[in-house]
Amino acid sequence: MKQFFARQVPSVSVAVTNKTPRVRGRGDRPIRVLYSFGLKLGGGRVNGIAWQQINGLANAGADVLAYPGVNGTPLPPQVRIRPTLARGKFRISYKLVGRLRAYAWHDYVVSRRLERLAGNVDIVHTWPMGSLRTLRTAAELGIPTVYERPNAHTQFAYEVVQEECERLGVSMPSQHEHTFNNDVLLIEYEEYRLASRLLCPSDFVMQTFIERGFPPKKLARHQYGFDQNLFYSNGQPQTANRGLTMLFVGGCAPRKGLHFALEAWLKSPAHHDGTFLIVGEFIPGYAEKLAPMLSAPSVRVLGQRTDVGDLMRKSDLFVLPSLEEGSALVTYEARGSGCVLLVSDASGAVCKHMENALVHHVADVAALTNHITMLHNDRELLANLRSASISTAHHITWKAAGRRLLEVYEEVIRDSSRLSYSAKKPFGVADL
């Protein structure tokens, strides 16, 4: 099994021609995107990422045909939506049939629709666990594909999370997405192989694939973003004569490194007159392990909250010492809200150390302690980092992310235009 996962991903077999076809896309007509996402569009986490990407692509000028499992949040009228797991008020229950079965049905439906759309699609955007048939069909029809990687290489994520859980004496819930699942690994590795490009939202994600033998040309760097209507700075500098407020938002589990943040906070003099706010839900057993630190007078556990934007605007620092991430959305949102980031180099945050944030090596509690102390003692440095972060936050909005994603599509289409594939079936013209 280890040899299987360590081997380099083979390329899709293609025939190279001497003729270079015309690159499709801007300057000719809008890029025609088939966007496949097997879950419900809209809301939090990956559901929100997919919705924002489709919205951003439409605003950037792409012609988008979206196949979600279920459509939850309205999109611009120019986006054509074709749910695969819902018709009218009837919806297939993910819990009832099981998520893997629901993904498989979604994938089957999209692959069949794609067969009839060949010749009318320039690129296919897919997500993990619901893409095998779709990716195979696209390869047979000569349509380039991109494959979203919202997290690091899955085997890497499993390994680092399991190792830290064992060190702490905590067990992940059996159904948690970061609990080892061999079936998931087998499916994803085949999806990795079939996709033209793997979309990586951070340099950290790219590195986890390169370290497992994936060639850089197989990877494409894009980014995520934040909603400026929800996350914005109040424009008021923090006062120098009060204690710091440090905020953590996320799933409270070993993967996010909350235990590192607590240890660093309580080792820093900042905790004497400052406050550490913790937002999120704890996995079983983790809060008990951290109980002595969580009970410190300067630490406040707030649980799940709906006013995260307000909390960010009232905080000086945002801490996320993750062991692994894709590119944590909360780091974009914190920057948009005026927080200075204190993050690990595995958080996937879009920032630069000592320019608009402070970045420490993963699990380096001493460095994180020093960073908290630096900003506690030097409020001018805090103000400068905050100002630099706010002034460049427009580069990491969802609008900017949509433009970047469209650029990646163009690059992938351009590279694929030099290759000729043979299709099993003649091109169709249906728009299903």
Average pLDDT over residues 229-253: 87
The order of strands in the sheet holding 32-41 is 80-81, 63-71, 32-41, 123-126, 145-148, 197-200, 219-221
Q: Containing H/E element for 52?
A: helix 45-60
27 φ, ψ (degrees, to nearest 5): 85, -10
pLDDT digits (tens, 9 = 90+) for 372-396: 999 999 999 999 999 999 999 999 9
* Statement: residue 23 has pLDDT above 90: no
pLDDT value at position 163?
A: 96
pLDDT at position 164 over 50: yes
pLDDT surpasses 60 at 315: yes
State which amino acid sits at residue 339: C
pLDDT tens-digit series, residues 185-210: 999 999 999 999 999 999 999 999 99
* CB count in 10 Å sphere of residue 229: 7
Residue 356: CB partners within 8 Å, gap ≥ 6? 335, 340, 341, 385, 388, 389, 392
The average confidence (pLDDT) of the chain is 90
Query: Contact at 8 Å (CB) between 162 and 171?
Result: no
* Interatomic CA distance for residues 65 and 33, integer angstroms: 6
Exposed/middle/buried for residue 360 (C-beta within 10 Å: 0-12, 13-18, 19+): buried
Position 116 scores a pLDDT of 96
pLDDT in tens, 65-75: 999 999 999 99
**Helix (H) / strand (E) containing 210:** helix 203-210
Q: The domain 245-394 is classified under which CATH number: 3.60.10.10, 3.40.50.300, 3.20.20.70, 3.40.50.2000?
A: 3.40.50.2000
CA 191 to chain centre: 17
pLDDT at res. 97: 86
Ranges assigned E (strand) in 266-377: 275-279, 299-303, 317-320, 340-344, 357-360
Could you give the CA distance from residue 133 to residue 414 in angstroms, rounded to a whole number?
24
- Within 8 A by CB and 6+ apart from 63, the residues are 29, 30, 31, 32, 33, 78
Residue 120 has pLDDT above 50, yes or no: yes
Residue 351 · residue 343 · CB < 8 Å = yes
| 145: three-class secondary structure by DSSP | strand
2 confidence band (pLDDT: 50, 70, 90): very low
Q: Are both 7-225+399-420 and 245-394 of the same fold?
A: yes
pLDDT at 134 over 70: yes
Q: Identify the pLDDT of residue 178.
A: 83
CATH architecture for segment(s) 7-225+399-420: 3-Layer(aba) Sandwich (3.40)
**Terminal alpha carbon distance of the chain:** 40
Enclosing H/E stretch for 133: helix 132-141
Return the domain boundaries, the chain. Answer: 7-225+399-420, 245-394
